[in-house]
Amino acid sequence: MGKAERTKGKDFERQIVEFVRVYGYEAHRTSQQDKALDELGVDIMSNTPFHIQCKAVERLNMSHHQILKDMPTDKIPIVMHKRNNKGIIVAMKIEDFANLLLYKEKQLCERCTRPVEGVGDICERCNEYLIGIE
């Protein structure tokens, strides 16, 4: 990858960090904060329920499916893909999308937003206390 491509990728990561911050969340590029997460394919670390990988390329070397499969699953993995003059899309697994749709009606884990049984219990997936959504 050439210098122009790396710069384009870093600029897109910065754009997504600012986008997340506008909505009141903390966000940082993992290349500056957490090398271990960066090596696992996470480009943006935040206090959202998402692991975010950013792609600012016309053609991906691998599919969105493979990128999502390779990312950690303690948070919802998403790929933000930007193409020239085409805007930005977000790719995620259908199960994760369904959980987001259910968010308003179910008991959810504060950390991973997965549906769970009852308020006050501990999520088996990430060991966080649960919250109720009304």
* Per-residue CA distances from 124 to 69, 102, 107, 113 (Å): 21, 19, 14, 12
Check residues 127 and 99 and name the one with the higher pLDDT.
99
Whether residues 15 and 63 fall in one domain: yes
Secondary structure tally for the chain: helices H, strands E: 5, 8
How many domains does one find in the chain? 2
Whether residues 22 and 73 fall in one domain: yes
Average pLDDT value for residue range 21-32? 90
Whether residues 31 and 84 fall in one domain: yes
Distance CA 63, CA 67 (A): 6
What is the share, in percent, of the chain residues with pLDDT greater than 90?
37
Domain, as residue range, for 39? 3-91
Q: Which residues pair with 24 in a beta bridge?
A: none
Average pLDDT value for residue range 81-106? 83
* pTM of the predicted structure, to 2 decimals: 0.74
Whether residues 80 and 113 fall in one domain: no
Residue 12 C-alpha from the chain's centroid? 14
Residue 44 C-alpha from the chain's centroid? 7
Write the pLDDT tens digit of every residue in 94-116. Answer: 988 887 777 655 566 666 666 66
